[in-house]
Amino acid sequence: MIMEFNRELDARGLHCPLPILKTKKALADMTSGQVLRVLATDSGSVRDFQAFAKQTGNDLLSQTEENREYVFFMKRK
């Protein structure tokens, strides 16, 4: 399944909390309903993105992992 997105954030090589902080900043620059695709390599980011979605109300539409690379799709509330 190919998911449409409005913007992409490359957070590969960054460690906690930088992927979340950069995601928060990117989402702030987007309009409601837009989708952000985030690429990350920090294994802790799976748990972090789930918590971030709950705390902020932004929707975590999808999260996948392939070859220790994580892809998240976040929808701005």
Return d(Cα 30, Cα 73) in angstroms, integer: 14
Determine whether 16 is an active site residue. yes
Helix (H) and strand (E) counts in the chain: 2, 4
Which listed residue (5, 7, 14, 16) is catalytic? 16
User: DSSP of 30-43, one letter per residue?
Assistant: S-TT-EEEEEE--T
What residues act catalytically?
A: 16
